[in-house]
Each structure stands twice: as C-alpha cells, then as structure tokens.
Amino acid sequence: GLLLNTRDTLHAHITKTHNIDNFTYNPPINRSSNTASMAEQEGSAVPAQSKGSWTSFLKSIASFNGDLSSMTAPAFILSTTSLTEFSAYWAEMPRLMIAPAQEPDPAKRAALVLKWFLSTLKQQYASRNEKLGSEKKPLNPFLGELFLGKWEDECGTTQLVSEQVSHHPPVTAYSIWNQQHGVRLQGYNAQKASFSRTINVRQVGHAVLHLDKWNEDYLITLPSLHIEGLITGSPYVELNKCSYIVGSNGYTSRIDYSGRGWVSGTKNTLSAIVYPHGKEKDKTAVLYTADGSWTDTFTIKDAKTKQVIDTYYAKKEPKTPLKVAPIEEQDPLESRRAWQKVAEAIQKGDMNTTAHEKSIIEEKQRAMRKQEAADKKEWERRYFGRAEHLPIFERLIKEVPYGSLEADQTNGIWIFDPTKAKGAKPQFCTLTPGPINCWKWLLIDTHLLNTQVQVMSPATSRRLVASLSASLTSSSCRSTERRLCQRLQHQHRTIASTTQRYQQAPTPTSQRIPPRASPTNPPPSQPATTQNPHDLSPSSDTPPLRSLTDSLSDPPPTLSEHEKQVDWTRSYHGLSASPFTTEQAAILQQELSYDDIEIKPDGIIYLPEIKYRRILNKAFGPGGWGLAPRGETIVTGKVVTREYGLVCGGRLVSIARGEQQYFDPEGIPTATEGCKSNALMRCCKDLGIASELWDPRYIRKFMKEVGKECIVEHVVTKKRRKHWMRKDDELKYPYKEIPQPGAAPAVAARK
C-alpha cells in the first residue's frame, strides 16, 4: 500500500501534454532498420580501424581504479540509448505483468510473478546484444533526465515515468502502472562496475510490484552481472549469483544464475524455486521450480508432482511496442530529445561530433551543479522524492539472506511523489482531488510509521479525520485505498487521544489552574463544567478528560467519535466473527522449521517468543495486533499470573492466562513481563502458530531427529546431571559432556 497509486488522470495528463493518443511508435535511433548492416559488421569482432582504441580501452579497464561506468568507451561500443530508457524493459509484455492480478491462489500468484520477472531478463540484458550484434555501453544519464511513454494492447494502457534522480552515484527511479488491472511497479537502481578478469556489475536498488486486488507487494532484488566477450570485441551480458522476489503473501522466489565456463556450462542458465518464507533450505517445502535459459526457453514445474505447468519461449513471445512523444514535442530534459545530436553522431561513427555534443551537455550540467552549490540549493526532482525509510521495503527485505536496502549506495530510497508530479512539466496537473488526496495520506502514513511519537492536538485530529472522510466520499478511491485511509484515521485518533490522555489527566477541581488570558486566548465567560472522567461523548468546546487512576476501566480510543469504544478488559468484540484471510491463515499455520525450535536443558522444546511476534507481524502487519490485559495482576508467594486477550485487526481472537515464577520480590517486575510473554504464546496456540509443539508425536519425532540427552559435569563443582540439547549445538562453559557409550536417548516431555 505504500507504493503510490497511479491514476487514470496521469494517463489523461500525458495525453494532454504530449498528444499521446496520436502517438506512433517512435523507436530510438539505434533500433531503426538502417543499423542492421553496422550491427552485423561490429558484432562479430572489433573493426580494423578500432583495434588500437579497443586494445587501449582494455588496458585502461585493467588499470582503472573506481567506477567503470564513468569511462569513455571506443566509438563502436557506444550505444545511442540512455540508461533511463532501460526502465521500459520491465513492461514490454504487459500481459505477463498483470497476469498475477487475475490469479486467486496466492502460491500461484507468486509463481506468475516469477514468470513475469524471468520474462523481462532477456529484454533487460540481452535484447541489445541480439539487435546490434554486441552489448553497447549506454549513455550515462544526467541529473533530471526523463523518459515517459506508454504501451497499449488488449490489457489496456500501461504507463511509464522514469527519472534520473541522482548523478553521484547515478540512480534511476521509475514507476510503471496499469490502472485498469490495478498493477503497479515502482523502483530505483544504480550500477557499480569493477574489473577482475572481466567487467563485473553489481546492481544496487530494488523494485516492488503491487497488486491492488489482493493488496500484495513483491519486493524484487536485482541480479549481479558480468560482461563476457571482451577479448573478441563482441561483449554480452551474463547474469550470476542469485536474486530474490519476496511476497507479502508469505512466498519467496530465489533465482540462481549461471553461464558458460571455460570447460562446461550453458549460456544464460537459470534455476528458480518458489517456497514459503523461511523454508529456503527445506527441499520438501518447495512449491514450484523453474529451469532453463532466460534468453531462450524455461519451464515451470510443480515441485511435488514434477509436472510441467508452463513453458515460456522467449524468442516467440510478442512484444508490445512502446509509444513515446515525437522528439520535437518532448521536454528538453527527455532522453531522446536531450541526446538526439549525440545519438546521430554515434550512428554516423563521428566521434569528434559525439565528443563535442556530449561535452555541451556535460558542461551545462557542471554549471548547474556549481550554481546550485553557490545558492546552497539541491536539484529539484520532478516526479520522485527521497525517503529515509519505506516500511514495505524494510519488512520484506528481511526475508533475503544478508539483505539490505543499501540506501547509502543510492543516495536514499526513492519513491514517486504525487505533490511534485502535480506541478511538474511535462505536467501531471490534471490529477483529480481524490487520487491526489489519497496519495497525500499514503505519504503521511509513511511519515507516521517512521515517527515514534506524533503530538497532535484534538482539533487537528478532528480536522484531519473530516478531511479524510470528505476525500473518500468525493473521490474515486478504490476499496483498498479506503481501507488504508480508515487505518490511517485510526492511527491519528489513537496518537492524538493517547497524547491528550497524558497531557490532560484530571486533577481536583480546587487545584485546576485556568489558562492565562491573552488576545488569542480570552478568559472564559463562565466557569468550565467539570465532566465525568468516563464520559466519552464528543464535546464542541473542550475534549473529554480521561481518568489515569482507574487503570483498566479507561477504554481505548476507537475510529469514530460517536461510537461507543471497546473495553478490551471485558469485551468479546469480534470473537469468531469471521475467519482470517487465506493468506493470513497460511502464515499463521505455516509448519515450523526444525531450525527455529530450541530445547531447554530439562527437555522442554519451545519457539523463542520473538518468532511468535514476527509471525504475527507478518500476518497482520506491525501495529495490526496487540495484547490487552483482562483483569488484575495476581502475585502469590512464587508466581505472577494475569489474563490477557490477543486482539488482531480490531477484534478479539484469543484469551489466555500467563504465569511466571519468581524467586525474590525484586524479580516481580521481570516476572510480570514474562507472564505477558507466556500469555502471548498460549494465545498464539489458538491461531495455529507453533501448534506442533503441543503434539506428542511431533515432539517425539523432533527429539529423535534433532535432540540428544547427555550427561554433563560442572567443571567447578564436578556435579553431574542429565542435560538435553540440540545435536547441532555445543555445550557452553561451565559444563562439559561426559561420554556415555551405548546410552540410548530418552524421550523428552512437554509441558
């Protein structure tokens, strides 16, 4: 939901600005038919007249220290296309991009997202090699460079906005959307090139595919690559290592890449698996596999039955042509217009003119940067903005081994900014108020998620709620946006009411100090009426006062000011009202991995509490669940106990009593927190989380395969006792294991 929902009005605005309905396919210069002979000539080997420059280029690569993308390449290896255009390769087959939105099964949706991603690889990394005879070095975009276009086919209109948002380091941000099917892709990327026997490129950045219908997000990491064929002068891209697609529906795809080596191997090979989160190493948990070549053919199979589900033929799949404005109608900062003279010179092989035209652009850019530094200003991006945090990225990246957003490598996290887009030229100024307002709430939501405490006056809170309601009733927001805005409304009221509760605790009437009179705060004409601390009815003058002394009798705030609030200390609101969604149920009931389970020395097996919380966060989102105390804390001579209710999505789902022992009165506070943790784990059992741990058969099987019982000795006291532990674990000081040859492992008990 944090990817900004691009609207039909954006399409209408591009249409108005560029007369897009009358567009014809305007291919880049290097795709025109008259390049065929040049491609054939240059693709096989280095032209005779360029051998000297190519040899010098290879030597300079080997000795270069830094980012190779800044180097000047020989003429025959230069491309006429800027890197900002490469964002278009994501959607040259819109039908595959929107296919997941039509699939009701979440696991199959994950497989369809994988298929779409794999289908883009040839276009992104091999199409130029096939069309031009060899891979070409693209033009380095300048800061602020733009590329706008659209695809039109049986799936409707799919639109693209791409912008160079950073020059040091070079970063391109893009947003692609199909309004008709509610599919949106947004991302940003940079390249870090180095040399070690060949040119290696590490791609930094991420993309997120969002499906409105299912309110799902898929985080896509980018593969690393290297350049083959440097010696022959016919370079081509080979992908290596692996990349991931992490879905918010609980499924992850891992793609492994390999190529042709000196002795064996096949060019452009891929192997991929689809599995539930956290099951990457469990071969029995794999649902789908994909194998083949990303430039030719790959097949997708059911991992259980080995049956072929789908076969993709890269060379046979038709591509939808991208439509862009005629060059003469483009903005001066749009790629094809800005680089027109450079591209024409490269096409003619005129390197003097190429260098001259490039220097004109580069000098203008340097002058602008110098002036900005003098004015202490930063270049204003037209369509994208920088964010410090993006919760959806940060949540999903945790499923990627050693995953990191690496924001320091991309000069920040970049997202589409509707406020900037409204006033941008080429303009998107025909945006209707509805979508603009919804985008604003999305941005506010991001801000709130990144802010620990947001102090807001009750009046401000009421104005915000009213504005949200007006926006929802007057705009064409989708139901997913309505739910998001309602959630945001709940966040604002919760923050405002909680702050108010602590700021305006009731005091005895005799001790109340009236506010000091001022021109903006005149004295009241009559004494204020003392209100009932538990009166929750709205007031037009002053907000109701809340009692801080009655503890559990203080009801929490709710969505509506006119709705009776839920008292979770005794209410059963929403209990068994409806089942969770299929996706949530799959997360909650997902089978545990043996790697997640720990063993106590007395033979009790358990799942660490933090993993219960992570499962709840994955199913309901951070802030979508909570543990409410029901009744008072009971402290006996050795035990602290209290009843808690687990609330998920605004309704009660389970009740359990937690208990924790203590051995000294000073340990009661710690035992109280342990009591809460114990109740949480018991409530989770009702939801199916880690329910295997209460199954005697599962316990026996786990202990037989993973656990072992041994005799340990305290190295200081020399006392011996029985000790349970995992087979893959090691004893910690001050204990050491006493070998017991022939001893059979005992069966552990479970609480």
Percent of the chain predicted with pLDDT > 70: 66
Count CB neighbours of 395 within 10 A.
18
Cα end-to-end distance, the chain, whole Å? 42
The four Cα atoms 587, 588, 592, 595 give a dihedral, to 10 degrees, of 70
CA gap 347, 41 in Å, rounded? 13
Residue 246 forms beta bridges with which residues?
Answer: 219, 252
Q: Does the pLDDT at position 43 exceed 70?
A: no
Give domain limits for the chain: 8-375, 432-505+546-558, 582-698
CA gap 255, 466 in Å, rounded? 47
Per-residue model confidence (pLDDT) at position 252: 96
Distances (CA, A) of 321 to 130, 152, 177, 213, 635: 17, 8, 16, 27, 73
Tell me the whole-structure pTM to 2 decimals: 0.53
Structure tokens at 376: 């202490």
Instruction: Confirm if 402 and 242 have CB atoms less than 8 A apart.
Output: no
Per-residue model confidence (pLDDT) at position 126: 81
Q: What is the mean pLDDT of residues 625-650?
A: 89
Range name among 58-72, 251-265, 572-586, 728-742 with the lowest pLDDT average: 58-72
Q: What is the mean pLDDT of residues 468-484?
A: 41
- DSSP strand pairing (170-178 vs 183-195): antiparallel
Per-residue model confidence (pLDDT) at position 74: 60
Q: What is the mean pLDDT of residues 644-663?
A: 92
Range name among 270-279, 313-322, 394-403 with the lowest pLDDT average: 394-403
Give residue-wise pLDDT tens across range 517-528: 444 444 444 444
Per-residue model confidence (pLDDT) at position 144: 94
Count CB neighbours of 342 within 10 A.
23
Per-residue model confidence (pLDDT) at position 157: 94
Per-residue model confidence (pLDDT) at position 146: 96
Per the model's pLDDT, the better-predicted residue between 450 and 677 turns out to be 677
| Contacts within 8 Å (CB) and 24+ apart, 545-549 | 545/504, 545/505, 545/506, 546/497, 546/500, 546/501, 546/504, 546/505, 546/506, 547/505, 547/506, 548/501, 548/502, 548/505, 548/506
Q: Does the pLDDT at position 86 exceed 80?
A: yes
CATH domain 582-698 topology: Enolase-like; domain 1 (3.30.390)
Structure tokens at 579: 């089942």
**E-assigned strand segments in 596-638:** 598-599, 605-606, 625-635
Per-residue model confidence (pLDDT) at position 341: 94
CA gap 656, 166 in Å, rounded? 53
Per the model's pLDDT, the better-predicted residue between 154 and 538 turns out to be 154
- CATH architecture of the domain 8-375 equals Beta Barrel (2.40)
Quick one: pLDDT band at residue 97, thresholds 50, 70, 90? very high
